[in-house]
Amino acid sequence: MNIKKTILKAGRFIYKYIFRRIFFLIDSETIHLFLTDFGERLGRIKSLKRTVKYFVRFEDPSLKQSLINIKFPNPVGLAAGFDYRAQLTQTLPMIGFGFGTIGTITNQPSEGNPKPRLGRLVRSKSLMVNKGFRNPGIRDILQKLKNLNFEIPVGISIGKTNTEKLTTQKQSIDDIITAFKEIQKSKINFSYYELNISCPNLVGNISFYPPKQLEELLIEIKKLRLNKPVFIKMPIDKSDKETLGMLKVITKYPIQGVIFGNLQKNRLDPTFDKQEILKYKTGNFSGKPTEKRSNELIKLTYKNYGKKLLIIGCGGIFNAKDAYTKIKLGASLVQLITGMIFEGPLIAAEINSDLISMLKRDGFKNISEAVGTIA
């Protein structure tokens, strides 16, 4: 155990003070594509996977949970938005992740928004995100996944194709439903769906935030009789009242969980470095600027719907303390991306290592006992 912790500390040091300095000199999207390609290649080397997993992955009964008939070896997952070409399903387990989401994937292929699609705000501990659901389309993704086995739960995030051709609510719903149907008829051994209704970077004026329009979408999803759980990715820029209105609708339908939340749209949020954010005229923001509101909405949801919905916390997780706060506020699982970009690829293993100690310190035998304890 001590050897593993030493390896993790050394890995973080090497990443932050050598590799990150090099990576951050390169265009964000260019380095993202390079690293996901590299990660995919590593995931194909079985002997390397076994070796890395042995030295860095922490497995402990206190981290294991069975939620909605899915067995999660630990609570730390990769959020949608990073692996949108389905390249890392074989790599995530060896570096410590307990689950991971592919996507967001759409019915039709999309090149996404015009560049810049990614950027870094180092002082704000944030990323500018303007990808606009860039992805190769659901049929390409399913073809890529069809012969793979997954060591950890893998989800597929589905969203509306980012195109000006979808001009009505009905067209947008039909587009989303078609993607669900394509997955449903496939034989991919994935574990859950994510429904992304909260990306703020899409063209057109289609919105599923108003309860009536959200209900129209969920009615059609219900008709599919899906045999996998569905989690909805939620916005963080809505008021408590608006959020509760959405949750009231969601709990009427076969939706098993919600994810709080998506990107920060408020450029005046005090977390931002005021000069740094001026670099970016488009896009919205991940990382620390999302953390406060994400935590507030996790707590709100747990207090009002904690017995009906599984809550996944996402936004501003850079270490175990950040993750544990979300868990104690009501999240059974957590997801991250930005923390990995800033802290290194072994962040999930580090968080799990520290969570084991934190649970023991607080007298919890399993992480499920900590969920909602400060809500």
Identify whether the C-beta of residue 192 lies closer than 8 Å to the C-beta of residue 150: no
Residue 370, pLDDT above cutoff 80? yes
Look-up of token digits 């900590």:
370
Angstrom distance (rounded) from CA 212 to CA 215: 5
Q: CB-based contacts of 6: which residues, under 8 Å, 6+ apart?
A: none
So what's the pLDDT on residue 27?
Answer: 95
Residue 199, pLDDT above cutoff 80? no
Longest dimension (CA), the chain: 57
Q: At what angle do helices 46-56 and 28-43 cross, to 10 degrees?
A: 100
* Choice between 103 and 303, residue whose per-residue pLDDT is larger: 303
116: left (phi over 0), alpha (psi -120 to 50) or beta: beta
The tens digit of pLDDT for each residue in 206-235 reads: 889 999 999 999 999 999 999 999 999 999
So what's the pLDDT on residue 296?
Answer: 98
pTM given for the model = 0.95
- 118-121 and 126-129: which strand pairing? antiparallel
Residue 87 in tokens: 């390249």
Lowest mean pLDDT among 135-149, 161-175, 338-352: 161-175
The band of 201, judged by pLDDT with boundaries at 50, 70 and 90, is: low
Report the DSSP beta bridge partners of residue 69.
none
The tens digit of pLDDT for each residue in 100-113 reads: 999 999 999 999 88
The tens digit of pLDDT for each residue in 38-76 reads: 999 999 999 999 999 889 999 999 999 999 999 999 999
User: What string of DSSP letters covers 293-336?
Assistant: HHHHHHHHHHHHHTTT-EEEEES---SHHHHHHHHHHT-SEEEE
- Residue 280: strand, helix, or coil: coil
> Burial, 179: exposed, middle or buried (Cβ in 10 Å; 0-12, 13-18, 19+)?
buried
Mean pLDDT value across residues 300-305: 98
- Residue 233: strand, helix, or coil: strand
Using CA atoms, how far residue 276 sits from 17, 129, 282, in Å, is 21, 15, 13
Taking all residues of the chain, what is their mean pLDDT, rounded to a whole number?
95
- Residue 346: strand, helix, or coil: coil
The tens digit of pLDDT for each residue in 173-187 reads: 999 999 999 999 998
State the amino acid at position 324 in one-letter form.
Answer: Y
The band of 1, judged by pLDDT with boundaries at 50, 70 and 90, is: low
So what's the pLDDT on residue 2?
Answer: 83
Angstrom distance (rounded) from CA 12 to CA 37: 21
Identify whether the C-beta of residue 89 lies closer than 8 Å to the C-beta of residue 43: yes
So what's the pLDDT on residue 375?
Answer: 87
User: What string of DSSP letters covers 52-65?
Assistant: HHHHH----GGG-E
Q: Which of 272, 271, 264, 138 is nearest to 201 (CA)?
A: 264
- Buried-state track 338-352, b at ≥16 Cβ within 10 A, e below 16: bbbbbbbbbbbbbbb
Strands (E), 79-219: 99-106, 118-121, 126-129, 154-159, 192-196
- 310-314 and 333-336: which strand pairing? parallel
Residue 133, pLDDT above cutoff 70? yes
Angstrom distance (rounded) from CA 258 to CA 200: 17
So what's the pLDDT on residue 325?
Answer: 98
The band of 165, judged by pLDDT with boundaries at 50, 70 and 90, is: confident
Percent of the residues in the chain that have a pLDDT greater than 70, as a whole number: 99
Q: What are phi and psi of 331, to 5 degrees?
A: -85, 130
The tens digit of pLDDT for each residue in 9-34 reads: 999 999 999 999 999 999 999 999 99
So what's the pLDDT on residue 265?
Answer: 93
Q: Which of 324, 312, 337 is nearest to 255 (CA)?
A: 312
Q: CB-based contacts of 67: which residues, under 8 Å, 6+ apart?
A: 310, 332, 333
Q: Which structural domains are found in the chain, ordered by start?
A: 2-370 (3.20.20.70)
